[in-house]
Every structure is written in C-alpha cells, then in structure tokens.
Amino acid sequence: MTAALASNTLLGDHRYCKPINLRICYRCAIWWESTLAAQNKRKSSKRRTKSRPKQQRFWARLRAAIWRLVWRTLMGLSLLTVLLSAGYAYYIDRTISKTFEGRRWSVPAQVYAQPLELFSGLALSKSQFITELTRLGYRPDLELNSAGTYREDSRGVTAYLRGFRFIDGFRPAQILRFTFNNRGIRQITEPGSGEVVLVRMDPAKIGSFFPSHGEDRIVLTPEEVPTLLAEGLKAIEDRNFDEHRGFSISGILRALIVNLRAGATRQGGSTLTQQLVKSYFLTNEQTLQRKLRELAMAVILELRFSKQDLLTAYVNEIFLGQNGARAIHGFGLGAQFYFNKPLNELGVAEVATLISIIRGPSYYNPFRHPERARNRRDRILDTFYSDGLINAAAHRNAKAQPLGVVSAAGRGGAYYPAFMDLVRSELSERYSNTDLRSQGLQIFTTLEPRLQENTQQAVSRTLNAIERERELPSNSLQAASVVADSQTGEVLALVGGRQGRVDGFNRALNAQRSVGSVIKPVTVLTALNQGMDLTDKVVDQAVTLPQPSGETWAPKNFDGKTHGPMPMYLALSRSLNLAMVDLGQRVGIENVQQQFTTLTDRRPNNPYPSFLLGAEAMSPLQTLELYGNFASGGFHTRPKAVIAVLDENGSALSHHTFEMRQSIQMPKVAALNRALELVMRRGTGRTSPFAQLGVAGKTGTTNDNRDSWFAGFDNSHLSVVWIGRDDNQSTGLTGSSGALRVWNAMARSNGVDPITPIPSDDLVAIEYTSGRRATERCADVVLLPVRTPQSLAIKPGCNIKPSLKQRLRSIFTDE
C-alpha cells in the first residue's frame, strides 16, 4: 500500500496522500494548499452572488425545489408502481395457478345406476329394450358404424354395445343380436361366436358430486377431446389461439371495428384464454378494472401452462346451459345434456350446435330457440367447411340434419337429486367431501332408472289427479316414495317430492311425520313373539289412559265406533285403534317398543301408549327400513344405495356387500306377512286393483288426515309412499284414498310379483269375520298359520268333526 502511494505521488497523483500522511509528502502539501485556495475562490464568488436581487434568488430556489419535488415524486411513484405490480402479479400468479391446477385435475366422483342385466328368458319385450337403449343414448344406425348404435328389424334388435369398466372387470364394446318371443328375450348371440348367456348394458350415469355451487361436469383428458371440437373452437372463438400470449390486439381491433360498424356489441375480442379466465376467476361485470385483471390473468396462464392444457381446461369449463339448479359446464356434460350421448359419439352437426351455444347459452338455447340455434349452427358449419375442417359431403349432410337435441324427459345424464342425497349420506361415512369432489371416483349404485322414472311419474300424476278430483289448490299436496328390493334392501328408486329432477327438501329422507297405523304390525309381531296366535282375541272397546302429564288419553276408532272382541288379524286388517291399544297393553308397551328397536336399530321417540297408534315421527326411508324386516322374511337391512366405489384407475376402494341381521324368526314373520296379505285382500287395502294378487301391506292415516301412508311389498319390491302437506295441514286423505293410489299407479307401471305362498300344509282355514275354524265348504274363509288350531272354535255347518274336548268346551263356553 505504501509502495503504491509512493508510486502515485511520484507520478503526481496526490489525491490519496492527505488521509495517509501529509508530512511525508511535500508535493502533497503544495497540492493541498492549491485546493484550499480554489475553495476560497468559490466562496468569494458566492459572496458576490449574494449581491443579486433577493427576488430572483427566491424564484430560482423555488423552481429548483419544485423540480426536485416532482422528480422525486415521479421516481417514488414509479418505484411504488413497479413494486405493487410485481406484488400483484406474484399474488395473481400464485392464486390462479394454484386454483387452475387444483380445478383442472379435480374430477368429481361419477355416479352410475345399476346396469341392466340381459339374458335369455328375461321378461323384456323388444319395445321395452329399445326404450332402454334410447334411455342410454343409443341411436338407430343401419350400418352400426360405432358403439352406441342399434338396428331394429322384424325379429329382433342388433346393438353395438359400448365398452364399460364394471366393478368386476372391463367389458369391451361388442355387437350382439337380441331376438324376442312373447315372454321376453328369446336368445342373445354374438355374430360369429354363438350364444351369449348373460350380458350387461353400460350403466346410466346419474350424477356427480360437483361442488356446492351447483356446477356439474364430465372432465375430459386432452386425448378425449375430439379434433373437430378443438379445431372448431379455435376457428369460431379464437383464430390466433396458437400464436397469441393470452390476448390478441388484432382480435380486439377486429371486434372494435365490427361493433362500431354495427352500432352494437356483435363480436367479442376475448381469446379462449380470456374466456377461460372469466369463467374460472371473474364475474360478468363490464368494467375496465375487470378487463385489466382478465388480461393480466390470461397472460399469466399463458406463461404458466401449455396451449393444450388451456384448451382442455376450456373444453371442461365453459358454461353451456342451466338445468334447474344445476349449471351445465363443459362439453362432456353438454353432450350428455343436449344429445344424451358421450362427446366422442357426436356428429359434425352436433359438435357445431354445442359450439354455437357458447356465445349465449340462453340466447341460443336449442330447446327454447331452435330456429336461432340452427341458424348459428349452420353458420358455424360454413366456417368449418371454409376452414377445411370438414369436406363438402360432411358439410352438406350436417346442414341437412335437424338440431337433434333430445327432449327434457328423456334427457341423458339423468339427474336424480333425491337419490343422490341418499348416496351422499351413505358415502359420507367413508369418504370426505373433498374426495368425492376431486378424486375421480366411480360410484356404482343400486338405482334402477326405469323404476325411478315410473315411481316419479306415479307420484306426480296421482297427486295431480287427487287435487283435480277433490278440487284442492294446485300443488298443495306433497309426497315421497321409496322402492327397495324385498330381499336385499337395496334402494331401487327414491322420490323426494312431486317434482323430480329438482333439488330441494328431500321428504323421503328428511320429512319426519307421524306414521299412524303403519306401525301396528309391530304390536302384532310382539304378540306373536309372546306366543299368541293371529286368531287370538283382542277387544275393541273404549279406553281411557292416564298420561304422565295428568291428562287422560282416550283414543277412538276411525269410524268412532267400538267392535268388541275379535281375532287379532281382523283388528289389524280393519286397522282398529282400540283393539290395537288393548293388544299393546296386553303385551306391554315397553315390549312393543323393544320390538321396534330390534326392527329398526333405533329407540322410539314417543314412550307413551299413543306410540301404539303411530304417534311416532319417521321418514319414509325409516318406514322402509321397518317394513324391510317383513318383506325380506325376517331380516333387518339398512336401506342401501351404493354397491361399490372404484378409484380413478378402476381399483376397488370399497365394496358395500349385503349386510343383514335376522330380526324375526321364520314362523312369526310368515304369520305376520299372512296377516298383512289379509289387510290387502279384505281390509283397508282391498280397494287396490292388485289386492287379490298376493301382495302385503298396511295403510296409515294420522290425526285430521294430515298424513296418508302406505307400505307394501310383493316378492320383488318393497315400497313406501307418503302424502301430506309441507305446512302439516289436513289433506283430507286416508291411507287408502291417498298413498295407496300412488302405490297402485306404481304397481301398474312396474308390475306385481306375487308373494310366494306358505306351504298350504301349514295353513288353517278360518272364517274371516269370526276367527273360527272352517273348511272350504264354508263361505268367507281365509287361510292362516295357527300354532294351536285345536283350540279354535269351529264354525257350525262346515262339516268339521270336533273333538270331544271341543264339544264339551262348546257347551261350557256358549260357542
């Protein structure tokens, strides 16, 4: 360092000497003196300036201060703007990238109905089969060019079934020939291979677990997006999509010119990316601020993601219409909603129709404005042709086709929100909401679409008819219905209100209403379990019971009369309240309640004797659970809606196997069911046209006719129907005049499968009205299982030879 200084001073550079050591540098001292002199000279010059006029100095200083202030402010603002912009860009980037990533791969769980099993001997006519094919979105095609088509001829149907991955494996697409006879399917063959014993149709998709804001979608992968759709979207919505970086100046200018010429907004200048941003993150407000945000977000998305990612996200996201509370998003669901078929089966005209809807899902709604939608579709087809996306023949053919949208009633992507509530409730025990909404699960359920449609129609039409006949205010009545498999407890149909396909209060699951006489079989079963016979006597007489509150309870029969002693089955058949209270008191109300708990796995809410007459609030689904014990021959099953859940790769996550617990011994349930058959044949259910066919059931009516119930079953199906009003006012309906009518309508559509009778050796002929033993030679006879028939009184004139004991007893008992 010293050497360097020395070298510098020798060369004449003395700037560094002063701080080091002046004493060692003579030349430095000279330089330092000269510098001081120069400074003194400047000071003296300043003193001379002071002599200028004060005003001039003031303005000069002010100017300088202002310039300094302006300059510094500008610099500060610029710095602040840069910092804020950087922060905002960082914030937007973090936010939208995260949201975009999350949402792009959020695949809602897809829910499927039970597939239709087809086999030789199945009672399914040709026309019914074609109805099922149509329901699944199969279309007639003489050439059978692709899966999802069928060809009908005089002898049968040839169908090109879609491939599908079921719980137990994949069934590839295959062409099958179905022939029919007057009983149903005669034979199924695969051309070139021979007879097929059993085949499953692909199941109907009945919904998905979309987020709570009501957006449904079928998420497609990039490979699943048809080329025509991708190229068509670019041609119609964003010609420079492959080149621009989120926004297109030329596009904006073009739109500006078009709109200025037209004097109105005719064309948008937004790119696909901007439209995607608007749909994902922004609202529809028309402000500069929103537009700027849209631009910023579009640019960031373009920087972050590939063009293919953005286009696929657009295909999955764009809004295409509204179905009640459900927003239809994306082309996958749009294809199902408007054409009832998968996107990959759409023709040229259908793709053009879907693209036409983007510009205004309401304005170009093909259901409400078919002419307008068709005109736009044709213009889009012209663009397809002029851009070389389709050839002349395809262009000509497509323009000749009608819109081809399917009517609302048969619209695919069937939507059963009430049943989905049950699925959601069942799955909530095993899966989180996040799993259901984002993990791409496949959920196979027990729903039978045909049964569901029939049940919904039966409910809606019967309620309309009742309101019309009784001159009730329109839509004043409400209803719910559940249908399950008699043996397995699997729920096959569930109607939550008179209007199907509408989200809202689900009465089948959530309406807690008094069940009335529907509960009476529990008391009868308790008596049977205590060793009583159906023919044992109960007494229908006035009764007054003290209540814990100090008041008294004095129930009455529906007709206000009393009927004296009678056999237990008759009291049930006629639904006599006083006789049931007598029986309940005899067997013990606590025992009846214990029996109820055994049958339903839940304790009753009402501990008082009024429980015996159905003063117990239950939902239709809980009532179904109760009657499932009877319909299944004595087994308790929880009503079940889910068969299995697969992950996105098709691996089983859970298999919901049949679960049951024997709750009633066979002879007891057989006796009870026989009594419930009598309710239909001879009792309160006798007005049903199906009453004599071998069905069992029980009607129920609550105080002031607020609730009308029916629970009934045959060999195949167990059904529960409730009718009432949401404001809990009187309907004026009994179980027979209300709910039973709905069940009749259901049975008319779904058919009746008569209950397999108990072997006749176990049955005893009984005179219906008296409960005495009889024979076929006697009138008014029913067959009942009786443990101790020898104890029964004998009806005179039936040619039954009584034992000596009976003869003696008849003498002593005045029988």
Partner 1 sequence: MTANFARSICLAAYLTLAACASAPTPNPAPSAKAPAPAVERRQPAPPKTNTDATFALLSEADIALDAAQPKRAILLLERAVRIEPRNFELWIRLSRAHLATDNMNAAMQHARKAIALADVAVGVTTATAQAKAWLQYAQVLEYRGQKQEAASIRRRYGQQRG
Residues with a catalytic annotation lie at 237, 517
CB of 757 to partner 1, least distance (A): 5
CB of 486 to partner 1, least distance (A): 7
CB of 781 to partner 1, least distance (A): 5
Which residues, in sequence order, are bridge partners of residue 765?
Answer: 783
Instruction: Report in angstroms the alpha-carbon separations of 798 from 214, 561, 767, 803.
Output: 69, 31, 10, 14
CB of 124 to partner 1, least distance (A): 11
Coil, helix or strand at residue 720: strand
Cα angle 687, 689, 691; round to 5: 75
Q: Is 570:505 a contact under the CB 8 Å cutoff? A: no
Query: DSSP letter at 117?
Result: E
CB of 183 to partner 1, least distance (A): 11
Tokens found for residue 325 = 């509370």
- Cα 370 to chain center, whole Å? 29
Counted residue by residue, the chain has a size of 815
- Cα 764 to chain center, whole Å? 49
Tokens found for residue 233 = 């979207």
> Mind giving me the DSSP string for 783-812?
EE--S-GGGS-B-TTS-----HHHHHHHHH
- Cα 73 to chain center, whole Å? 60
The continuous run of DSSP H or E covering 540 comes out as: strand 537-540
d(CA 592, CA 626): 13
d(CA 380, CA 382): 5
d(CA 683, CA 663): 26
Q: Which amino acid is at 32?
A: W
Which residues, in sequence order, are bridge partners of residue 327?
Answer: 215, 322
Q: Which is nearer to partner 1, 73 or 665 (CB)?
A: 665
d(CA 631, CA 640): 15
Tokens found for residue 448 = 């039978």
Strand pairing report for 442-445 and 110-112: parallel
> Mind giving me the DSSP string for 651-703?
-EEEE-----EE-S-HHHHHHHHHHHHHHHHTSTTTTSTTGGGT-EEEEEE-G
Instruction: Report in angstroms the alpha-carbon separations of 11 from 25, 29, 32.
Output: 13, 15, 16
CB neighbours of residue 492 within 10 Å: 27
CB of 197 to partner 1, least distance (A): 5
Which residues, in sequence order, are bridge partners of residue 540?
Answer: 564
The continuous run of DSSP H or E covering 603 comes out as: none
Tokens found for residue 559 = 């007709």
Coil, helix or strand at residue 647: coil
Q: Which amino acid is at 576?
A: L
Tokens found for residue 285 = 């407000």
Tokens found for residue 336 = 């199902």
Q: What residue has token string 């700037």?
A: 15
Q: Which is nearer to partner 1, 585 or 716 (CB)?
A: 716
Which residues, in sequence order, are bridge partners of residue 709?
Answer: 700, 722
Q: What residue has token string 């040619």?
A: 799
CB of 761 to partner 1, least distance (A): 5
| Cβ neighbours of residue 536 closer than 8 Å, sequence gap 6 or more | 527, 567, 568
Q: Which amino acid is at 447?
A: L
Q: Is 374:403 a contact under the CB 8 Å cutoff? A: yes
Binding site for partner 1 (CB under 8 A): 114, 117, 119-122, 167-168, 197-198, 485-488, 490, 633-635, 643-644, 655, 657-662, 666, 670, 694, 715-716, 753-754, 756-765, 773-778, 781-783, 786, 789-790, 792, 800-806, 808, 811-812
First to last CA, the chain: 141
- Cα 65 to chain center, whole Å? 71
Q: Which is nearer to partner 1, 215 or 762 (CB)?
A: 762
Main-chain phi, psi angles of 139, to 5 degrees: -130, 150
